[in-house]
Amino acid sequence: MLDQPVRSLGASDMQITRVGLGGAGWDGCDDQQVIDTIRYAIEHGVNWIDTAAVYGRGRSERLVAKALAGVAAADRPQVFTKCGHIWDTTGASKELRKVGRPSNIRREVDDSLRRLGVDRIDLYQMHCPPEDGTPLAAYWETLLELKQLGKVKAVGLSNHGVRQLAEAEKMGHVDSLQPPFSAIRRQVADREIPWCVEHGTGVLAYSPMQAGLLTGRFTRARAEALGEDDWRAAVADFQGARLERNLALADSLRPIARRHGVGVPSVAIAWTLSWPGVTGAIVGARRPEQVNGWLSALHLELTAQDLMDIADAIERTTAGSGPVHPG
């Protein structure tokens, strides 16, 4: 396993690499392909994997367990997963429900521990605010209880806002926040990230390449060819003038990528990591060779000029919304 730079996850003693492998996009891959991808990322220095019980309805967690079974104990990455989504185990319905009941979370953590094949989960996160009427105090108290019991090492919130973070923090420390964050989707840089800096909460940014828009490989033709089963086909960022603005921003990253001898994906990821308080970025890969497209982000540090150039490009293209510069 290669050594890569690490950062502390908030106020915790967890040391994580700047980039972690995300497990949300493995549905179209066969098992061995996923296992090979996980092991390839680990061999090249990635020391954490972010998944969730709902990804593949338990399949993602099971594949993480299979991949780690062949990894030496000294090289095993930290495993982060999430709770709060439940599905019909009979397969009769594809509907997912966002549930925060304490009894459900206690069942979910045991199921995740079993699927992952571990005695303790490194970071356990509430996936989204629930829709079943469970108040935050009830589900956050449950996560803190799991931490006290030793079933999880740290606890965090995903897709929660400042008010919810503040409410949870009064009960017990929020170790991490996992928000969407990219050079296109920048809203959390206005309130949530500064809050996390102030309170010693680590930030794990997901979708730093905005679902492919900031890879430098996405085109209008590709957007028009998205199938009905691809959620991006119905999203405004992949349509019309917004798509053109987003692609123009991606193009503006090319000169910066050339300056550093890296690909556009690494620049897009490094931009999110340049914001104070952002500990790591979650990046997906479906094949080992896709990992190579962003490995350089593990150590890429953008210069002040790079950040100014990107801020200028955001303002010029008017892509997305939110603060444009981490300074």
In tens, the pLDDT along 247-301 reads 999 999 999 999 999 999 999 999 999 999 999 999 999 999 999 999 999 999 9
In total, how many domains does the chain have?
A: 1
DSSP letter for 321, please. Answer: B
Q: Say whether pLDDT at 88 is over 90.
A: no
Least confident among 70-74, 125-129, 311-315: 70-74
Q: Are residues 76 and 122 in contact, defined by beta-carbon separation less than 8 angstroms? A: no
Question: Domain with 80 in it: what CATH number?
Answer: 3.20.20.100
- Whether residue 86 contacts residue 97, with contact meaning beta carbons closer than 8 Å, is answered with yes
Residue with tokens 């080992």: 288
Domain contains 206: yes
Neighbours of 33 (CB within 10 A): 15
pLDDT, position 91? 66
- Residue of higher predicted confidence among 104 and 225: 104
Q: Which residue would you say has higher pLDDT here, 196 or 228?
A: 196
Structural domain span for residue 269: 6-218+265-302
Position 31 in a domain: yes
pLDDT of residue 94 exceeding 80: no
312 located within any domain: no
Domain-located, residue 270 = yes
For residue 103, being part of any structural domain is answered with: yes
Average pLDDT over residues 167-191: 98
Assess if residue 53 is contained within a domain.
yes
Confidence class for position 231, pLDDT limits 50, 70, 90: confident
Indicate if the pLDDT at residue 160 is higher than 90.
yes
DSSP 151-167: SEEEEEEES--HHHHHH
Confidence of residue 176 (pLDDT cuts 50, 70, 90): very high
Q: Is residue 322 part of a domain?
A: no
Mean pLDDT of the chain: 94
pLDDT band at 87 (very low <50, low <70, confident <90, very high): confident
- pTM equals 0.95
Q: At what angle do helices 162-171 and 136-149 cross, to 10 degrees?
A: 50
**14-41 pLDDT tens trace:** 999 999 999 988 888 899 999 999 999 9
Q: Is residue 211 part of a domain?
A: yes
- In this prediction, residue 100 carries a pLDDT of 97
- Catalytic residue IDs: 55
Q: How far is CA 234 from CA 213, 237, 248, 282, in A?
A: 14, 9, 20, 23
Measured CA to CA, the distance from residue 295 to residue 154 in angstroms comes to 26
What span, in angstroms and rounded, lies between the C-alpha atoms of 125 and 138? 14
* Strands annotated E in the chain: 6-8, 15-17, 19-22, 48-50, 78-83, 85-87, 96-98, 121-126, 152-158, 176-178, 202-206, 278-284
Give the residue-averaged pLDDT of 199-222. 94
What is the predicted pLDDT for the residue at 90? 64
CA distances from 27 to 99, 202, 225, 286 (A): 23, 28, 20, 9
- Strands 176-178 and 152-158 turn out to be parallel
